[in-house]
Structure formats: C-alpha cells, structure tokens
Structure 1
C-alpha cells in the first residue's frame, strides 16, 4: 500500500496526472478533495492564490453543515480559529425581538416538533460562525497534510479536451515563478476533473446554460465589541430598511451584512449613495449599541465592501470528464447562511456516489454520469429546502408591496406564537422534508390572511370593510403562491 501511495505521489508531482483534478481550494474544492482522497483516490488540488482569503460571506455554518463536515472527517477544521457557537436567530421586527433557537432533537438527531410548537427542554444542535479566511486555511492545511493529495498554487486558464470527442482530459494553467515573477504554461490531467471556482466562475458558461441573477448586494461592516440581543444567536433586523443580518465571527468581532437592492432611490448618488442609505435608513432601524458600533465602523469614510447576492438554480450536467459544483453551479441569497452547508452536503453525497465500490474507475464516463444524475435529484432533499427558504424569506423580509408586508407580519406573528422548531430546523438544514416546508409556509400565509382580516374588520368601519378583507385574502394567498410555488417547482421537479 505504501508503494502505491508513493507511486501516485510521484505521478502527481512529476507527470501531473491523478485520478481527480480539483480546481479551486475553497469550501467545496477542499471538501471533495479530502473526501475522495480518504477513499484512496489520487487527487491534485489547484488553487490560484494560497494566501488567506478575506471574504465577507461564507462565515456562518448551519448545524446541518457542521454534521456534514464531521462526516467528511474535517470537523477539526473548526478548532483553533476562534469560531463562535451559533444556537439560532433573533428576529427584530420593527423593534420587537423574537428568539428562534435551533430545535430540540431526539437521540437520532430528528426534530421532535416538526408540525407545530417548540420544545422548551432537550438537546439542540449548534452551528458555528467564524472568519472565513481562517476556516479556509484550516481546510487547505488538512488537504496539504493528506498523503493522497498534492496541492499546487497555479491559475487554471482553460480545459483540455479530447481531439476525438468532447471529453475533458485535464486543465491548462499558468504557474508563477515566485523568484522571477515569470508565468509558465502547465497542464494537469485527471480521469475526472472537478471545477469549484466559486460564484464568479470562468468555466460556468462552457458547462451550464444558466447564468446568475443578481438583484441586490450585501455591504459588510465588521463591528468590534458589539453585543447582540441574544448571546450566540444571529440577528435579523426587519424595519423600514431592507434586511440587515448580524452574527458574531470572533471573540470581539461581529459581522454586519446590509442588503441593498440595485437602483433603489434611497441609495442613489443624490441621496448619498450606499453610505447615505446606511445613515438614513439602516442606522435608525437598529438598536443601541449596534448603532454606535456601526457608526464607528463607518468612520473611515469609505464605501463598505460588498458581495453580489446571486440566485443560480442547479442544472444537470453532461460533459464527460468534467463536473461543476459549489457556487459555480448553484447559489441562493445568503440571508439564511446556507451556502457552505449545501457545499459540504454535496461533497458527502458525491463522494459516496463515486466511492470505488460504486465507480471503480473514474474514467468510466457512463458511471460518472449516472452518479451525477443521482446526485442532481438526491441533493434536492436538502438543497431544495435551503434554496427555497433563502429566496422566499428574502422576498418576505425585503417586502416592497402591501401583500408581501402582510405576509411579513404573518411570519413574525407565527414566530411569536411559538411556531419556531420546524422553521429553525429547516433553516439549520437539520429537518430535510420539503412537505414540512410547504406546510409551514402556507400556515404563515393563512395566519397573515387572518391577521389582516382582523385588522381590517376591527377598524372604524368594522363589518362594512369585510369585502375588502375578502379581496385581501385572495391577493395575499396569490402573492404567497407567486413567492413560493415557482421556486419550489424549479427545485423539486426540474
């Protein structure tokens, strides 16, 4: 066995050949490299820049993602990076807080209250939040220490295709000589090539027909010594501004992500741009001491760093020798913090489907295609929920019309009534039952209709406004269907 490991190492380093070539040493790239290497596969992991990245998203890992990370054998990567436990969320709705902790679970890890209510006592799973770059470097160190993985710092520029078919045989790269700065052409060949080059993937167009849709950006602040209303709970602020998400990423640091849709008048140059929007709309919506911490973070006078909030539904793939996964293939609004959880879950399932007992040779294109077809449908049990929740909750929390605002009130009223375990379980990727998601979403819709009717009929004109309540009922239900059904249909049936 040791001779085989050594031969494979020399083959990777000298001939640049391996069972698998992975492009991108980010979340998914590191995870799938490590998982396949643990199965005895020879892996080359390519990364353009091996320095610690500095990103403003990918900092919150849901409990379901923590569980997947442990299945991959990478649970230790959460240690020694000042990672902070995350036990759930606090929703601050126009100044009124409601705590939504992750649900109570039984000894098998199943959510106890899936259809109604919440458990007051019992075991609850925990997520983790951290500086993205520190976590990435832990994943990379784990890969570099693995005897079946060779990590190379090089920029991938193109794929190498067979002259007699459209099969991808490997990738072309440019490697920079660190002493001279000169770039030289290089090539790496894998029986299977996995592209995981992130949200701005340069290879997406050659594999998928879909393109990301961006309707807003997250502008980020790092707040120092800013206590949140509920310790170890992320905070979502819903007021007269678009959603603001806060969560602690270190002993002293708290990340604030401010959603700013494209082309809104409040962030126009005449209104002072993004900083004007934050000063005029966001700061009045957040409580002290968060407001003071934000003012301090804004004192440098610069526009905060931003990331696009992208929506890219998953697509089937049929390119022999090549797989595109991670954010390159599927993205959702990061409001619910589901991206890394999806990536680790995908890595677990793909590595199982490609296990040597199932696919002895990764050069067997038909077997790999079959595994990818299975992955496409199997992953929907989790990713369908994460994707639908991200898009639907953002639509509700960023409500910009009468019906959406009614649904927003209904959502908060639902939480106030103690209906939190199942929604939190779905959000935390612990509860993987799409039918439960549909049940609770439309329960919120009907509660919104009831609350709206009570408000209308209970007004000065009383019963005379009953026809208006009836009209509102149909409009609110229709809006709920418009928000939920198209995304759910796309996730579940296509």
Structure 2
C-alpha cells in the first residue's frame, strides 16, 4: 500500500473546506491549503438559514458562529411599495432561527478552529496542480507563502476552491451561468421596526435584500440583472443612488445615502451551476466548486453544510487508503447529495425569476401575504427545513393558479401568468435533474 503524507488534503479554507476539515475525526491527518489567510471583506456568505445552523450543530460545530457579534434572524419582512407583511420562522417550527454574520469574521473563526486541532495543518499557499498516478489523484503541488514549490500526497483530495474554482473544469463538466450581480454596502445606525428580520424589498424591477450582520450593521444587497457587470462611474453611481432611494423604505434611505457616498460599493456575480463530476479516483468536489444557485434566498451555506454531512455519511467507516472503498463512497455522495439540496437550488433560482416578472411577483406577494400554510409552507422550504420537492412545486403552481376564476374573468393575464410560471420552472427542473456525476 502506498504511503501518503496525509489522509486528506483540502484545497481551500473557505466555508466549505474549513467546515469540512473541522468536521473530521481526530484520527485523520489533514492538510488544508488556503491561497490567502488574511481576513476577507466580502458580501457573500453572510446569511445562514435555520437548516444551516442545524447542520453545524449536527457536526458539533455550532460554536463557530459565536464570539463575533453575529445576529439572530427570525424571519422576513416583505415590502412592495406601501404594502408590507412579516413571516416568522417560529410559525414554521417554534425555536428555529437563522443568523446574519460578517463573512470574514466567520471564516476567521473557522480557521482558528482548525488551527487549534493537532491533526490538521493549515498552510497559506496556492495549489497549482493535482498530482496523478495511473489516473488516480494522489496529492497536490503548491507554492507556499514563501514562494517555495511544494508537493504533498494524500489518499483523498477534497476540492473546495469556491465560485471561481480553478480545478472545476479539470474534474467536472460545469454549466456555469451568471444570472445577475449583487451590489453590496453596509447600512449603519438603522432604526427598524423589525430589526431581527431580513427585509425583502420587491418594489422595483429587481429585488433588494437587507439583513443584520452585526449589532450596528445591516447588509444591503441590490440586484443588478444581466450577465454584464454594472458600471461604477460617478454618473452611474448617482443615478443608482436615486433609483434605489426611491424604492427603499424611508427609514433606510439616510443610511443608504451615507453608505454609498462614503463607502466602497462592492460588486459580485451571482452564479447558477450544477456541475457533473468526472469519475476521477482520489478526488471529490465540494461546495461552490460543484454547485451554486442564486444567493437571493441565502441558501448557499445550508447547501454546503448538507453536502458536508452527506459526504461524511458516505465516508463513515471507510478507510480512505482503500482506493476501491473510497471510490464507492465518493460515488455514493455524488449520486445521493441532490436529495438534500435540490429544493434549495430550485427555490433560489425560481424565486429570483419570479421577482423579475411583474405579474408573478404580484401573485407571489399576494400568496405569501395570505398567511397560514401559504406563507409558512414556502418559508419552511426557504429555511431548508422542508426538503420535499413535490411540496415546493405544489406551492409554486398555487401561486400562479390561486385564482382559477381568472381563467374566465382575466383569461389573457391568467394564461400569461401560467405560461410564465411553466417557463421559469421547467428549465430549472431540467438542470436540477442532471446527475452530479458522469
């Protein structure tokens, strides 16, 4: 049997790679390689749905969200012009909650946790290649922080190098699409009626999301539709300021104006992708390297943690040095992971397109506003608690078909509503039905 330097090498110490490493048994010797270990300042990965918190607890890692002023998120307030209503997680399941946090602080907590573990080596370096022997991945080549060329071997390599993954194309058949861009700022000194709720503003042509990330900070994410990034020139920023100020609730406007005039507006692409991994022995894709969805619903970390749990279950009792057993475990993970994440993917991509369609947006707002199962049902899916695809589709089509009499009184509008709903959901379901391995 070949002798390896490590049992597992993890490429990337982001949310996926860091939490995966932290979740492993102490008897596994692990090397984690991260390109940049300085604390990042990002606008992604800052809203964790209740199932994400539950998943951390299941892995014994709930402490990772403690100690850096993360904020409880109790549900949502939906805003369309002067119309507003609230939906609380407690109505779905009394006791569940989400959390808003600063991505950089969360990553620092994860990295400090794995640094403290004697079985894990965390190094700063840029992985440049996978080492293969007889078509089996047996390690990595990387350049360390001192500029030295290094090589390390392992029985298993876990690739978690994020949305802009370098290794994705070498290990899978990706179908990555840019669906829109998020422009992000931090709003400070807000005095909100419901400070612990995420605020979904659908007044304009594209949605705006506001949620707490620390005790005096709310992340605002403004969607910019299309595949091309927004222009950030002086005139464009001034126009942007006027347009967004017109759709924000009045209590948010002063803070927004102050932020856009004094802080740097950050822009990030929003991707949709479900890659199909190749049958490559000794390596596995995890997190955004394998699967992404529109971030409107904050489902990314939930999906990633569900993937980690799925992979850990597949590896349970498996000797990673037994190549045949390892290959079967990895294939099992790829083949079964969709059961835990497909509703998160479908809802995220579908809801974004619904909010971009004027008629469907109106219908969705009206449906959720009714309360009862019409609001708690969709919220249970968004929270990641309910992962029943048939239940999701039932509510999706009920939004479009909630007024059957309109087929008689408003036939053109109702038929357009139905056709648009089908046009949204059909390609999403087709993409989601693709297996995660080829």
TM-score, normalized by length of structure 2? Answer: 0.93
Aligned positions of 1:58-73 closer than 5 A = 58-73=45-60
Counterparts of 2:205 and 2:242 in 1: how far apart (Å)?
9
**Residue of structure 2 equivalent to 1:432:** 387
Q: CA deviation at 1:277?
A: 4.5
Pick from 254, 267, 272: which aligns with 2:235?
A: 272
Aligned positions of 1:244-323 closer than 5 A = 244-262=208-226, 272-273=235-236, 275-300=237-262, 304-323=265-284
Pick from 5, 8, 20: which aligns with 1:32?
A: 20
More strand by share: 2
Aligned positions of 1:137-286 closer than 5 A = 137-162=108-133, 165-177=134-146, 183-262=147-226, 272-273=235-236, 275-286=237-248
Pick from 367, 371, 374: which aligns with 1:414?
A: 367
Aligned positions of 1:343-492 closer than 5 A = 343-355=304-316, 357=317, 359-360=318-319, 362-399=320-357, 405-418=358-371, 419-447=374-402, 453=406, 466=409, 469-492=410-433
Q: CA deviation at 1:150?
A: 1.3
**Residue of structure 1 equivalent to 2:102:** 131
Q: CA deviation at 1:278?
A: 2.2
Q: CA deviation at 1:484?
A: 1.2
Quickly say closer, same or farther: Cα 1:448–1:47, change in 2 above 3 A: farther
**Residue of structure 2 equivalent to 1:20:** 8
Aligned Cα root-mean-square deviation (Å): 2.2
Quickly say closer, same or farther: Cα 1:80–1:374, change in 2 above 3 A: same
Q: CA deviation at 1:23?
A: 0.7
Unaligned runs of 5+ in 1: 1-14, 106-110, 112-122, 178-182, 400-404, 458-465
Counterparts of 2:58 and 2:274 in 1: how far apart (Å)?
26
Counterparts of 1:156 and 1:50 in 2: how far apart (Å)?
14
Quickly say closer, same or farther: Cα 1:488–1:138, change in 2 above 3 A: same
Counterparts of 1:223 and 1:449 in 2: how far apart (Å)?
42
Counterparts of 2:32 and 2:13 in 1: how far apart (Å)?
7
Residues 339-389 of structure 1 deviation map (CA, whole Å, 9 limit, x = unaligned)? 11111111111112102x2x12x1333333322332234322331111111
Counterparts of 1:483 and 1:366 in 2: how far apart (Å)?
41
Counterparts of 2:82 and 2:350 in 1: how far apart (Å)?
22
Residue 37 of structure 1 contacts residue 43 of structure 1 at CA under 8 Å; is this kept in 2? no
Q: Out of 224-233 and 363-372, give the one that drifted further.
A: 363-372
Q: CA deviation at 1:146?
A: 1.4
Tell me how many residue pairs correspond in the alignment: 431
